[in-house]
Amino acid sequence: MSFLDMTQLFLSGTWGTLRLFLLTLVGCLVLGTILAAMRVSPTPVLRVTAHTYVNVVRNTPLTLVMFFCVFGLPYLDIRFAESAGLNSMILATIALIAYTACFVAETLRSGIATVPVGQAEAARAIGLTFGQTLSTVVLPQAVRTVIPPLGSVIIAMLKNTSIASAFNNRELMSAMRNAIELRGDLVITILLATAVVYLVLALILGRVFDLLEKKLVILR
């Protein structure tokens, strides 16, 4: 394998990782916000449901969650695409979303707890519903206080995408394994290159969240 071939292999793997990361990011932020809202909802059924889901999934190893989605859902005849590769990617994304959303929810809930109760009471006093109060008064303030821990959750999720390579997904770790199989004499170099790519991606994410934190602090 030439240097150009190896570079193309790593670029393909990096794109696979980024695609999986971006899909998971959108999904876990949406589901995590819904779960956080359910956790603080005045409806007992919603609170119990969200509490149970978060505690069960959060305390289950991600690998097991991935196994259930990638192998369990097809066993139940639940498929999302005809292509085996695309179906595997979708199922891996669902597993990552289901797992990461629990940590997003708990992070947001901790931010919600920092908002003075009086603000929510004032919003309800002028006729806003629970949903309106949460979306327009509480959540905007809560998000500002949890940017650093939320960034840590998202960066951890980026690294967790590596587990998807064990389930027939083309991403950075699978590219690394393929490169090692073809060029076993460059194992150390390939391992270092993989680590550097993850490091660069994590540093970029960290910088983005640093900028967000500074921007949001200015807006307070």
pLDDT tens-place string over residues 8-42: 888 888 898 999 999 999 999 999 999 999 999 98
Q: Token digits for 120? A: 């929510």
Instruction: Between 84 and 177, name the one with better pLDDT.
Output: 177
- H helix runs in 81-182, sequence order: 84-114, 117-125, 130-133, 139-145, 147-160, 172-182
Ramachandran region of residue 115, left (φ > 0), alpha (ψ -120 to 50) or beta?
beta
Classify residue 41 by its DSSP letter.
Answer: -
Helices vs strands, H then E, count in the chain = 11, 0
43-64, pLDDT tens digit by residue? 999 999 999 999 999 999 999 9
> Which pLDDT score is estimated for 83?
67
Residue 84 contacts residue 170 (beta carbons within 8 Å) = no
Cα-only R_g, the chain: 20
> Which pLDDT score is estimated for 131?
84
If you average pLDDT over residues 81-95, what whole number do you get? 80
> Which pLDDT score is estimated for 172?
84
With pLDDT > 70 as the criterion, what percentage of the chain qualifies? 95
125-142, pLDDT tens digit by residue? 888 888 888 888 888 888
**2: number of Cβ within 10 Å:** 8
> Which pLDDT score is estimated for 173?
85
> Which pLDDT score is estimated for 218?
45
Distance, in Å, from the CA atom of 143 to the CA atom of 104, rounded to the nearest integer, reads 11
Is the pTM higher than 0.95? no
Tell the residue number behind the tokens 């006093």, with chain if given.
Answer: 125
Classify residue 83 by its DSSP letter.
Answer: S
First to last CA, the chain: 54
| CA within 13 Å, CB half, 203 | 6
